[in-house]
Structure 1
Amino acid sequence: MKKHIFIDIDGTIFSHTSGMSENVKQAIVKAKENGHNLFVSTGRARSVIDLVIDSLPFDGYICAAGAHIEINNQVLKSQLLPKATVEKLMDYFTKEQAGFVMEGPTYVFYDELGKERFFSAARDKHKVEAMKPHMIPEHRQKMASEYRRGVDDVNKFLVYPNDIEHQRKIVRDIEKDVFCIVNPGSLGFEFVPHGISKAEGIKFLVDYLNLDHQDTIGIGDSNNDLEMLSYVQLGIAMGNAHDEVKEVADFVTKDVEEDGVVYAFEHLNII
């Protein structure tokens, strides 16, 4: 029976220490050959989807945690943060000396500190080779100052406070205006407008494509996958998922380093 599978990227099909394995790539191709619908469902904005993932046979993308949705290269929805709000937040984070990254459908904008922290993982010499194919193309990268010169293209922010107290202060200051998605175990956090979530993105596609909810599957690992795994008919948590994600899942597969998506596909006879 044809399934509609919504797949997270980071920590699910992509490891930040080893990249994406050939087994996972082959499993995605095989699942598509077997007639299933495959959709990316990620916190990344569209501009941060790397060329490796773009080369795989996904039917569509739910990006920026639900703020941007497209199928077959057709944009169905892209909720941008208002320019006045973005510039106000840029001024606020600059004053707070918090690094920030602004992601949109076309570009990624950084301030200097945000860019340094955003790419810090890739500086680990043990990760450089694995990360190279997944780096954001240079033509998609811009400095934050370029946004002020007229480019209106931001779905979400990533913020890098200096410590946990600084993080709490920033969240208190901005939570009235935006919905914060805090990443447990990490000082950095991301936020999108109120009402945006991966689950809402999936609901949109289920309605738009007239899909049967009974055949929906979601796979993820992080707290921004909680609503997605609760909404779909079958929620799958990665072995490396946060405990609260495993608690809402119907099935827990293996770790991303053990090709957990492949194991789940085989377990469910997707491949």
Structure 2
Amino acid sequence: MNIKAVFFDIDGTLVSFKNHKMPASTKEALWQLHNNGIKIFIATGRFKDGLEVLGDIPFDGYITLNGQYCYTNKEVVYENFIEKEDLASLLEVLDEQPFPCGFTMKTGKIYNYKDKRVAEIHSITHNDDQPTGDLSRVLDEKVYQLMCFVSKQEEEKLLEKMPHCTSARWHPLFTDVTPLGGTKQLGIDKFLSYYNIDRQETMAFGDGGNDLQMLNHVAHGIAMGNGEEQLKQIAEYVCDDVDHDGIVKALRHYELIK
């Protein structure tokens, strides 16, 4: 099998929801891919400040914020941000019918307020302890992604007021709202062009709803055993879960590592 690029989600894929760490077996597998000349990439809803969990693994590129900010260790390859018109509409909604909302900007994330829903997600990701504060500045900065703690029904109503945005949900408590166009799928295409790699030479691993497009787009889409059922249904292969060496087993199945 001629695979030149493998893309990995983080939470629930590379990193366990149980202990918030990357298994030693997964680290070894990533190093083997790198040493075998296969390029490895991150494709995550996290931003740069949430990647410490990856340690010293030499990734060739990072698709962050579900595709809104893509970069190598040398340069930004692509960025996409929410239109001011949509942000203004959101601020009106938050004023009339408040719900916890995190705004991710290059300078960091800020919440309007937090409640037990935010605390529950932070207990899973260990990546949502950013401050609350004044939102007046968000209209003057690039906002790449929103973390909206709303139900599925509320999400649909919200998007009606934000026509230039889309959403991706990997947990019942919240959805990531991003500008149209920027997706993990687009991030993959940006890096394939950057490194001159054909899409038929790609593989991706994921576990959540925000990985659907990515697994459908690559040549070989792998769903984690702990992943959502809809993802497993469209995957080429379902491996074991993150806590039982799923990454290693899948890469060995495809004979990419020993």
TM superposition score category, shorter chain reference: 0.7 to 0.9
Distance 2:56 2:139 in 1: 31
Aligned twin of 1:98? 99
| Identity among equivalent pairs (%) | 29
Aligned twin of 2:243? 257
Distance 1:262 1:187 in 2: 31
Q: May I ask how many residue pairs the two structures share in their alignment?
A: 255
Distance 1:14 1:94 in 2: 36
5+ long unaligned stretches in structure 2: none
Aligned twin of 1:40? 42
Distance 2:122 2:176 in 1: 19
SS at match of 1:113: coil
C-alpha distance after superposition, 1:155-189 (max 9, x if no partner):
1111112x555445434444x33112233x60311
C-alpha distance after superposition, 1:204-229 (max 9, x if no partner):
21122211222111111112211111
Contact kept in structure 2, 1:80 and 1:153, CA below 8 Å: yes
5+ long unaligned stretches in structure 1: none
Deviation at 1:135, TM superposition (A): 4.3
Distance 2:122 2:214 in 1: 29
Matched, 1:237 2:223: yes
Deviation at 1:38, TM superposition (A): 0.3
Deviation at 1:41, TM superposition (A): 0.8
Amino acid paired to 2:158: I
Amino acid paired to 1:224: N
Matched, 1:148 2:137: yes
Distance 2:203 2:117 in 1: 33
TM-score (norm 1): 0.83
C-alpha distance after superposition, 1:121-140 (max 9, x if no partner):
455xxx7xxx7xx547x8xx
Distance 1:205 1:110 in 2: 31
Matched, 1:201 2:202: no
Contact kept in structure 2, 1:67 and 1:196, CA below 8 Å: yes
TM-score (norm 2): 0.87
Matched, 1:118 2:104: no
Deviation at 1:90, TM superposition (A): 2.8
Matched, 1:215 2:201: yes
Q: 1:53 to 1:118 in 2, by over 3 A?
A: farther
C-alpha distance after superposition, 1:98-136 (max 9, x if no partner):
11011234411112226x53333455xxx7xxx7xx547
Deviation at 1:145, TM superposition (A): 1.4
Contact kept in structure 1, 2:3 and 2:203, CA below 8 Å: no
Aligned-residue CA RMSD in angstroms?
A: 2.5
SS at match of 2:143: coil
Aligned twin of 2:167? 180
Aligned twin of 2:29? 27
Q: 1:168 to 1:150 in 2, by over 3 A?
A: closer
Distance 1:105 1:54 in 2: 21
Contact kept in structure 2, 1:7 and 1:219, CA below 8 Å: yes
Distance 2:224 2:52 in 1: 24
